[in-house]
Structure 1
Amino acid sequence: MDVLSAAERVGFTKRDQTRFEGLEVGTDPQLPENAEELLAYCGVHPADRHAMLAARPDPDRDPEWWAITWALAGEVERDLDLALPSTGFRGWPAVPRSASPVGLFAPAWALLANLPRLRELHAQRGVPESVTAATVAALGGVMHTHRHIFGCAGVGLMPLWGPPLRFRGADYEIGRHDFTRTHMGLGDGVSGHVLSIHIPPTGRLDAQESEESVATAVESFERWYPEEPLAGLVCHSWLLDPQLGEYLRPESNIMRFQTRFDILPHLPPEDPTEGDRELMRLGLHLDVPDHQLTDEDLDNLPQDTTLQRAFVKHLRAGGHWYPRTGMLKTWS
C-alpha cells in the first residue's frame, strides 16, 4: 500500500496528507528486535515501553499504519546527518484523534528503527555517548507529555518537529538547550551555517545553565562538524515575544533570556491565533482545541502561575501571542 492512500484511509486531513508526498515505503522494512532495550536507552518510562511494545505494527493486521511508519522511517534514514535547509522543516502531523494504539505509536516506531544508525553516526562524529543518550531521551519526554496532556499512551496526538530531527542527526541536546544544525538564508541564497536554539520543557530556564549550554555547544560543533563553520545562533520561540514583558518581572528567567537576543522585526502570520496555540501547547503544556479559543475555553484554563494568568489576560484584552525570532548577541 502506498503511503498517501494509507494516510487518507486512516483519516488524515487533506492538508496533512500532503506531508507524506514523495515518501516511499521500503521494500523490506524490519522493526528492531531489541526494541525494549532501545526504548530504555531513549528514557521511555516502563509503562510507555509496555504500551508501545503492545502496539507493534504488523503489515497484515495494520497495513495503513505499517506503510505510514516506514514512510516516516525512510525519511529519517534519507536525511541522516543532513543539516536543515534554509527553507526549514515541516514537522510530522498529529495523527487523527480516532487513531488506534498502533497509530498513536507509529511515529515512535519510525524513530526507533533509525536509532542504531544514529548511534553509529554519532560515534563517527565523535559525539559523546552522554550527548547521544540525552538527545534521544526526547522520545521518552514526548511520551510523558503525551500521557500528561491527552491521558493516553503514545506520541501521535502531538505534532512532532524536534524528535525527527534528533534521530537524523540534525538536532542535539547539550545541557539546558538543544541545538539544530541549519542554514541561514538571505535573498541571494544560503549565507552560512547557524545553530537554532531550542528550550526543552525540562524545568526552569536558569541563566547560568543556558549560557553554559550555548558555550559548550559552540565548542562541540566546531569539533563534530568542522565543515560547518558557525555564522551565528538563532532562536525562534514564543519565549522571545516582547509582550511577555508587560506581565513578567524584568528579572524573571524568561525576560533575562530575551535580553540576550536581538529580536528581528515581526512579520504578522496569516493566522493570528497560531502563536496562541503554540504557547498553550509548548509553554502551558495543555491540550489545544481544534477550534479558536472561546471565553469558555479561557474560563477553564488553570490560573496558578504568572504565565498562565498572563496568557488568559492578554487574550481577553483582544491580543495575541507571537513566536519571534532573535539572533544571539554574544556567543563566540
Structure 2
Amino acid sequence: MDDRRRPEGHDGPELLGADPDRPARARATFALSPDAVRAMLTAPSLPATLDALGIAGADADELRALIPVAVDDSQVLTAVTARANALRAEAGLDAPLAHSPEADAADDAAQRAIAPGEGLVTILAHLVSTDTVRAWHAARGIPAGISWASLADLGQQIAVHRAVHGRLGLGTRQWTSLVWTGQVLRLGRLQHQLRIAHGDGADAHWGLSVHIPATGPLAPEDVDASLTMARDVLCERFADLGAGRPAELPAFGTEFHCRSWLLSPALAEILGPEANLARFAAHWRLEETYDASDDVVFFVFARPRGTAPTDLDTDTRLRRAIRERLLAGGGWTGGSGHLVLGAVPGEASRAQTATAPESM
C-alpha cells in the first residue's frame, strides 16, 4: 500500500509512494473553485507568474487584457477551472496526461465567445495549476529554479504558436500537459523527459528522452553540459529508477534517446560538419529514420504543418536547401538516436560511449 503524506505546515498536495523519501507522485487534496481561479488570475502577483512561466512581450500583454473578460464569462471561467483541476490533479512518474482532443475542442468553443483562436482556456489553466507539479519536484529534491525553468516552456510554446500562426494561442496542449506531470525537466540547454526506455509492465526500465527547445544556438559545449547535468541531477534525485536494472543495460541517467528532424545526415551536407546543428546530430547513434518533412516546415520555417514548399521562405542557407529538397519531392529525413555517457563518478561504468555513424 502506498505511503501517503501531506507536506507539513499546509494543506498542499499529498505525496504518494512506497518510499517516503522518493515519492512516486503527488496528488492535489482539494479542487479549485471558479471563485478561487478568478482570484488567482486577477491577483497582483499575476505579472510575476507570467514572468516565471516564460510568458512575455505581446503574449503577456494580450493575456493581461483578456483575463478580465475571461473571468467575467461564466462559461470560460468554468472551462478554465475544470482544465486547471485536471492539470493539477496529479504529478509524478505515472501521472495521467490531462489532455484529450475532445476537451480541447470544447475549451476552444468556449473561448470563441470572447476571442478567436485556440488554447486560451488551457493557457489560463496552466497559470493557476503549478502547485502539484512543484510539490512533487520539491519532494524529489529538484531545486525550485529548475522546476520553474521547466514549467517556463509554456511561454516558449505560446511564442512558437504566435510565430507560426500570428496570434496568441497554444497548439501543443498535449506537450504542455506532459510538462505539468513533472516528467520533463529543463536542465541547461536541453529538456530531459523521464520515460520507459526498455520493456514494459514489471520488466519496464527507465531512460531519458532529449527534447530541444527553440531558444537559441545549439553550441556543442552547452549540449554536453546539459547531458552531464542531466546525468548528475537525475542519477541523484531519481536513483530509485535504476533499481533492478539488468547489468547489460547502461546505468539509469547515462542513457539518452532523441527523435528529431535534427538527427539528419543532410545537416552536415548542407551546413558543413562543424556547424552546431551538424555536430548535435553527430552526438547520436542513429537507430532509425522517419519522414520529418512536416516537422521541418513547423520548426525551421515557423509555418503550419502541410504548408506547400512554394510558400516557404528562403532567407537562410538551411531554409533554401530544405525548400529545394521538398520541391524536388525528396522530403526531409529525421531520425531516432541513442547515446550513452560515462557512469556517475565512483560508480562502476557499464556504459560505452556511442559513436556517430559514418553517414553523419
TM-score by length of 1: 0.75
Q: 1:8-33: CA deviations, max 9, x gaps? A: xxxxxxxxxxxxxxxxxx68354224
Instruction: Give yes or no for the alignment of 1:137 onto 2:152.
Output: yes
Tell which has more relative contact order, 1 or 2 (C-alpha 8 A, sep 6+): 1
SS in 2 for 1:152: coil
In structure 2, the partner of 1:8 is: none
Q: CA, structure 1 residues 189+247, in 2 after alignment: closer, same or farther (shift >3 Å)?
A: farther
Q: Distance in 1 between matches of 2:86 and 2:203?
A: 23
Q: Who is 2:330 aligned against? A: 319
Structure 1 residues 309 and 161: alpha-carbon distance in aligned structure 2, compared to 1, 3 A threshold? farther
Q: Which moved more, 1:224-233 or 1:301-310?
A: 224-233
- Uncovered stretches (5+) of structure 1, i.e. residues with no partner: 1-25
- Rg larger for: 2
Task: List gaps (5 residues or longer) in structure 2.
Answer: 1-30, 243-251, 344-360
Count of aligned positions: 290
1:104–1:166 Cα change, 3 Å: closer
Change in 2 beyond 3 A, CA 1:84/1:305: farther
1:262 is matched by which residue type in structure 2?
A: R
Give CA deviations for 1:263-305 in whole Å, capped at 9, x if unaligned: 1133x5xxx5xx2221121233x1216xx443xxx33322122
Secondary structure of the 1:314 match is helix
One-letter code aligned to 1:226: A
> Alpha carbons of 1:96 and 1:246: their partners in 2 closer, same or farther (altered >3 Å)?
farther
Q: In the alignment, what sits opposite 1:4?
A: none
Identify the match of residue 299 of structure 2 among 259, 278, 282: 282
Q: Give the drift of 1:311.
A: 1.4
Code of the aligned partner of 2:303: D
Q: 1:97-149 CA distances to partner (integer Å, 9 max, x unpaired)? A: 99453854211122222213333322222212221232122122223333333
Specify which of 52, 55, 61 is matched with residue 73 of structure 2: 61
Q: CA RMSD in A?
A: 3.2
Distance 1:142 1:322 in 2: 24
Correspondences of 1:1-332 after superposition (within 5 Å): 28-29=33-34, 30-31=36-37, 32=40, 33=43, 34-45=45-56, 47-56=58-67, 58=70, 61=73, 63=75, 65-66=76-77, 68-82=79-93, 99=112, 100-101=114-115, 103-153=118-168, 155-156=169-170, 158-186=171-199, 190-229=203-242, 230=252, 232-266=255-289, 275-284=292-301, 286-288=302-304, 292-294=306-308, 298-332=309-343
Q: CA deviation at 1:251?
A: 1.5
CA contact 1:239–1:258 (8 Å) conserved in 2: yes
Provide the TM-score with structure 2 as the length reference.
0.70
Q: In structure 1, what is the Cα distance between the partners aligned to 2:46 and 2:123?
A: 11
Amino acid at match of 2:49: L
The offset of 1:89, in angstroms, is: 10
Distance in 2 of aligned mates of 1:129 and 1:143: 22
